């Protein structure tokens, strides 16, 4: 198949779309990628060599875009600029190309989906979009659409864009069911995040007698509710347990200041982000993994991308989250979970985990890696995606 990938993010930025693109190419599909100049989490993270890198047998088209900056205005400019650059420069560079399918990767924002729909109309081909962050609900959760009229306009616009997509893929079953109520006429299917190939064959971790180090990896943003995590570890100030954060994001500096204000520098520790290939080496030092999301309806139907990675690491998972993620933790006995924002109960659960036996935590470890290798198998999920794309083409 000749597939155009439309994604604001691509290598060297760290998103699963990279793995998907390279796997489709490995399976002998003809791949073109329309993307932006790397800027996540910030452009200075990348060398000119990385930005200008070309890939054998992948036609990579980069268009200019505003940097993300440190405020909502520059972030929105970053979002909109990819859409406008895609229209002005991308369509021109694609003028002599023909495609069977356009595949859109959609975390936030929704604008790449609209760009894919427009290109699809021009090229007379079908459009498939993989939704990781559902709009406008994600905007609402972040407090960007406070006015009821703006919320209504956001919903109408999002429904219009999604309604023009031939096949919508959602990252969770609950998101799929939710979107089907909004768009009953659309073809909506499940495409879960998978365990990255770097983590596919990890050995069972060492389960130590004491739980002393809890790790968080990934994005540091408003949605992750670090304020509640800081409150939790303030309660645990006199306990022999620490939180280590391997990540980056828009709110990192704000969280560092919050840690300093609460005098928790020895309790909540930032580490520099590392590559996926290096992450297992660092995670070996951990006794448990933790993640959290704000108390909001959209996050009840969102499974953070790090969840599958955490399963593969095989360490007990501590969640401060509602919805499908919490159900997975409880139903498969891979750790402990409390309601979103309930930092007091989270502190109690961490102490409970610390007091649990090695046998109990080893069982959680085995359950986690079993779930990673079955339900979130990379091979199984990407095989299923390829079948859906073949059906869409026909």
Q: Could you read off the pLDDT of 202-234 as tens digits, one per residue?
A: 999 999 998 999 999 988 888 899 999 999 999
Q: Is the pLDDT of residue 63 over 90?
A: yes
CATH code (residue 334):
3.40.50.2000
Q: Are residues 189 and 252 in the same domain?
A: no
Whole-model pTM above 0.85? Answer: yes
The predicted structure's pLDDT at residue 151 = 83
Q: Are residues 147 and 109 in the same domain?
A: yes
Q: Are 13 and 19 in contact (CB under 8 A)?
A: no
Task: In whole angstroms, give the CA distance from residue 25 to residue 122.
Answer: 24
Which 3 state secondary structure label does DSSP give 211? coil
Q: Are residues 270 and 133 in the same domain?
A: no
Q: Are 287 and 208 in contact (CB under 8 A)?
A: yes
Q: Which residue has the higher pLDDT, 3 or 154?
A: 3
Q: Which residues contact 55 (CB under 8 A, 6 or more apart)?
A: 11
Residue 141 pLDDT class (50, 70, 90 cuts): confident
Q: What is the pLDDT of residues 75-132, one digit of tens each?
A: 889 999 999 999 999 999 999 899 999 999 999 899 999 999 999 999 999 999 999 9
Q: Is the pLDDT of residue 140 over 80?
A: no
Count: domains in the chain:
2
Q: Are residues 18 and 163 in the same domain?
A: yes
The predicted structure's pLDDT at residue 33 = 97
Q: Are residues 19 and 168 in the same domain?
A: yes
Task: Tell me the pLDDT of the chain averaged across its residues.
Answer: 92
The predicted structure's pLDDT at residue 100 = 96
Q: Are residues 69 and 181 in the same domain?
A: yes
Task: In whole angstroms, give the CA distance from residue 162 to residue 159.
Answer: 5
Q: Is the pLDDT of residue 160 over 80?
A: yes
The alpha carbons of the chain give a radius of gyration, in whole angstroms, of 21
Residue 101 belongs to domain spanning: 2-194+377-393
Q: Are residues 126 and 203 in the same domain?
A: no
Residue 72 pLDDT class (50, 70, 90 cuts): confident
Which 3 state secondary structure label does DSSP give 276? coil
Residue of 376, 295, 294 lying closest to 334 (CA atoms):
376
Q: Are residues 166 and 231 in the same domain?
A: no
Q: Are residues 173 and 202 in the same domain?
A: no
The predicted structure's pLDDT at residue 275 = 83
CA dihedral 130, 132, 135, 137 (to 10 degrees): 150
Residue 348 pLDDT class (50, 70, 90 cuts): very high
Q: Are 19 and 200 in contact (CB under 8 A)?
A: no
Q: Are residues 129 and 257 in the same domain?
A: no
Task: In whole angstroms, give the CA distance from residue 388 to residue 232.
Answer: 44
Q: What is the pLDDT of residues 10-47, one digit of tens each?
A: 999 989 999 999 999 999 999 999 999 998 877 877 88
Largest CA distance in the chain: 65
Task: In whole angstroms, give the CA distance from residue 176 to residue 15.
Answer: 21
Residue of 223, 1, 5 lying closest to 113 (CA atoms):
5
Q: Are residues 175 and 260 in the same domain?
A: no
The predicted structure's pLDDT at residue 359 = 95
Q: Lowest mean pLDDT: which of 43-52, 307-316, 366-375?
A: 43-52
Q: Which residue has the higher pLDDT, 145 or 278?
A: 278
Residue of 322, 330, 331 lying closest to 302 (CA atoms):
322
Q: Are residues 213 and 268 in the same domain?
A: yes
The predicted structure's pLDDT at residue 25 = 95
Q: What are phi and psi of 289, to 5 degrees?
A: -115, 150
């Amino acid at each position: 198949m000749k597939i155009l990938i439309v994604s604001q993010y691509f290598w060297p930025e760290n998103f699963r779309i990279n793995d998907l693109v390279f796997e489709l190419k490995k399976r002998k599909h003809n791949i073109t990628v329309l993307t932006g100049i790397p800027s996540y989490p910030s452009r200075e993270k990348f060398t000119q060599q990385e930005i200008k890198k070309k890939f054998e047998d992948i036609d990579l088209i980069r268009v200019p875009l505003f940097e993300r900056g440190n405020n909502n205005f520059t972030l929105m400019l970053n979002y909109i600029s990819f859409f406008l650059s895609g229209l002005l420069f991308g369509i021109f560079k694609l003028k002599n190309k023909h495609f069977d399918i356009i595949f859109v990767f959609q975390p936030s924002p929704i604008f790449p989906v609209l760009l894919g729909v427009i290109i699809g109309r021009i090229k007379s081909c079908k459009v498939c979009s993989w939704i990781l962050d559902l709009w406008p609900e994600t905007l609402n959760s972040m407090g960007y659409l406070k006015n009821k009229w703006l919320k209504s306009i956001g919903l109408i616009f999002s429904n219009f864009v999604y309604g023009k997509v031939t096949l919508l893929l959602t990252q969770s079953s609950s998101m799929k069911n939710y979107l089907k109520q909004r768009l009953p006429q659309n073809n909506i299917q499940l495409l879960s995040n998978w365990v990255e190939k770097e983590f596919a064959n990890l050995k069972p971790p060492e389960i130590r007698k004491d739980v002393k180090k809890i790790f968080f990896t990934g994005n540091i943003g408003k949605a992750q509710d670090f304020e509640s995590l800081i409150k939790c570890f303030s309660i645990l100030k006199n306990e022999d347990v620490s939180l280590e954060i391997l990540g980056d994001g828009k709110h990192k500096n704000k969280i560092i200041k919050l840690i300093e204000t609460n005098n928790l520098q020895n309790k909540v520790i930032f580490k520099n982000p590392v590559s996926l290939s290096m992450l297992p080496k660092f995670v070996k030092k951990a006794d448990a993994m933790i993640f959290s999301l704000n108390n909001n309806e959209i996050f009840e139907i969102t499974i953070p991308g790090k969840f599958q990675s955490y399963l593969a690491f095989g360490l007990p998972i501590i969640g401060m989250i509602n919805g499908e993620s919490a159900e997975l933790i409880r139903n498969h006995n891979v750790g402990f979970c409390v309601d979103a924002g309930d930092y007091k109960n989270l502190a109690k659960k961490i102490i409970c985990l610390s007091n649990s036996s090695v046998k109990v935590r080893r069982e959680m470890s085995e359950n986690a890696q079993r779930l990673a290798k079955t339900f979130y198998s990379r091979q199984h999920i990407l095989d299923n995606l390829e079948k859906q794309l073949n059906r869409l083409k026909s």
